[in-house]
Copies of this chain bind each other. A is one copy, B any other.
């Protein structure tokens, strides 16, 4: 007679039939039940076991235990060892998150190299409840309460609707051997406290607590998805992606009484921490900025501009030689000799080739730079004044390049040409320079 477990698996995951399945097995109660179950169901399975080397000999014992089991039962097994502590230290992760990272990376790698279809893990209902309470106890957002899903991508958790109690019962009825689960070692004390002191009280209040909790989590998941929908829809209304930048229209955004929630959603992944500063930016002075390690957020009139922090040093200069017809860094420029002037635009200039001196130089502007703007009869103008007149944002200023001949500015690239290098009646050789 098929068990509850078997019925659930075939009803909920009919698509697993004839698929090749990896089972993640630590050797603990839950994963040994998972393994036993899938042996009965006669799918094509192989076992994956990670040794995280967190408990020395005990970890090795787990590995031996599961290896022997697979040998006796004629099941393929893949094992690996991780230096979890070192990885955690290198990437500044908690041991637990490091272990998870290593484990899933390895799983996906094997999935690909061995052409398997899915990875099954032994998470159950109490895992989700314990994680909920741990996150709640520390303070969390909705994401911390929704629980791990039954399936995401290639990972399937067929035991998720079942309680630890049901799994233990199955193990006893089927004489399953297991070793104490080592994967939760780092928060074992906490989970035990929750398991023994907290969850029993909840079950006294409502004997069907675990079922009610599963419903709660599915409702929370629905709300979470709706909140994500809103985040995407509002983003599409107020954000414009421009190259590497994202421009947020504050006039639009501020119509929403809860716009801070949206800013948080959008900017969170860019590593910002100073949220109050960011919220202040919305009504702050034009020109103010907030930084994360790799990004900057600039208030520019009625726009917030998110951009990566430029990697080119302000002092770097780039030479262009006489036989260069193309420049690809830090800008894309094309240079060629032409016989006459064609279209003019901000992106193209024509200069008298005999007036310039190679190598031309591309550099950022600095305070005090000035030039003689084309069409102003040789009157000099400060670059800073030009930028102000052109209403350039701080980021646009910083991203601007000057094309220079010795110490004279030939072109404020893409903005204004210099008078001194322009084509005249006497010009013999015309150089066309085009910004791509």
Tell me the A residues contacting B by CB distance below 8 Å.
Answer: 133-134, 136-142, 145, 190, 193-194, 197-198, 201-202, 204-206, 209, 211-213, 215-216, 219-220, 222-227, 229-231, 233-234, 256, 258, 260-262, 264-265
Determine if B213 and A190 form an interchain contact, defined as CB atoms under 8 angstroms apart: no
CB pair A258–B137 under 8 Å, yes or no, is no
Q: How far is the CA of A218 from the CA of B258 in the complex (A)?
A: 12
Q: What residues of chain B lie closer than 8 Å to A230, measured between beta carbons?
A: 226-227, 229-230, 233
With A139-B216, A142-B142, A220-B142 already in contact, the answer to whether A262 and B226 are too (CB < 8 A) is yes
CB pair B229–A234 under 8 Å, yes or no, is yes
Smallest CB gap from A261: residue in B: B222
* CB <8 Å contact, A209 and B261: no
- Whether A139 and B215, one on each chain, are in contact in the complex, defined by CB atoms closer than 8 angstroms, is yes
What is the predominant secondary structure among interface residues of chain A facing chain B?
Answer: helix
Q: Can you list 8 pairs linking A and B with CB atoms under 8 Å apart?
A: A139-B216, A141-B216, A141-B220, A141-B222, A142-B223, A145-B220, A193-B201, A227-B227
Contact indicator B140/A225 (Cβ below 8 Å): no
Please determine whether A198 and B193 come into contact, CB atoms closer than 8 angstroms. Answer: no
Chain B positions within 8 Å of A223 at CB level: 141-142, 223-224, 227, 261
Contact of A226 with B225 in the complex, beta carbons under 8 Å: no
**B residues in contact with A262, CB < 8 Å:** 226
| Interchain CB contact (< 8 A) of A222 among B194, B222, B233, B258 | B258
How far, in angstroms, from A225 to B257 measured CA to CA in the complex?
10
Cα separation A262 to B225 with both chains bound (whole Å): 11
Inter-subunit contact A216/B140 (CB<8 Å): yes
Closest to A219 in B: B141
Contact of A136 among B141, B190, B213, B227 (CB under 8 A): B213
Is B212's CB under 8 angstroms from A204's CB? no
Query: Are A136 and B229 in contact (CB-based, < 8 A)?
Result: no
Query: Which of A202, A230, A260, A262 has the most chain B CB atoms closer than 10 A to its own CB?
Result: A230
User: B190 touching A205 by the CB < 8 A rule?
Assistant: yes
A134 and chain B: residue at smallest CB distance: B205
Cα(A222)–Cα(B258), bound, Å: 7
Give the distance in Å from the alpha carbon of A222 to the alpha carbon of B193 in the complex: 31
Q: Closest B-chain residue to A215, C-beta based? A: B139
Whether the pair A137, B190 counts as a contact (CB closer than 8 A) is no
Knowing A229-B234, A229-B256, the reply to whether A138 touches B201 (Cβ < 8 A) is: no
Contact between B205 and A139 (Cβ–Cβ < 8 Å)?
no
Chain B residues with Cβ below 8 Å from A219 are: 140-142
User: Considering the chains assembled together, what is the distance between the CA atoms of A262 and B233 in angstroms?
Assistant: 15
Q: What's the Cα separation between A140 and B198 when bound, in Å?
A: 19
Nearest residue (CB) in B for A217 is B139
Q: Is the CB of B204 within 8 A of A201?
A: no
Note all chain B residues with C-beta closer than 8 A to A229. 230, 234, 256, 258
Residues of chain B with a CB closer than 8 A to A204's CB: 193
Residues in B neighbouring A139, C-beta threshold 8 A: 211-213, 215-216
Report B-chain residues with C-beta under 8 Å of the C-beta of A205: 134, 137, 190, 193-194
Q: Which of A139, A223, A258, A265 is most buried by chain B, counting CB atoms within 10 A of its CB?
A: A223
The complex places the Cα of A142 from the Cα of B134 at a distance, in Å, of 18
Inter-chain contacts of A215 with B (CB < 8 A): 139
Shortest beta-carbon contacts, A-B, top 7: A139-B212, A230-B230, A226-B227, A141-B219, A142-B223, A222-B261, A229-B230
Q: A222-B261, A226-B262, A234-B229 are in contact. Are A137 and B198 (CB under 8 A)?
A: no
B141 engages A206 (CB within 8 Å): no
Given contacts A142-B220, A220-B142, contact A226 B137 (CB under 8 A): no
Contact A226 B258 (CB under 8 A): yes
* Given A137-B209, A139-B212, A231 and B226 contact (CB-CB distance below 8 Å): yes
Residue of B nearest to A203 (CB): B137
A140 partner residues in chain B, CB cutoff 8 A: 216, 219
Chain B's closest residue to A193 (CB) is B205
A206, closest chain B residue (CB): B137
A-B contact sample (17 more), CB < 8 A, given A141-B223, A201-B201, A226-B261:
A136-B216, A138-B206, A139-B211, A139-B212, A141-B216, A142-B142, A145-B145, A198-B202, A222-B258, A223-B224, A225-B261, A226-B231, A226-B258, A226-B262, A229-B234, A229-B256, A229-B258
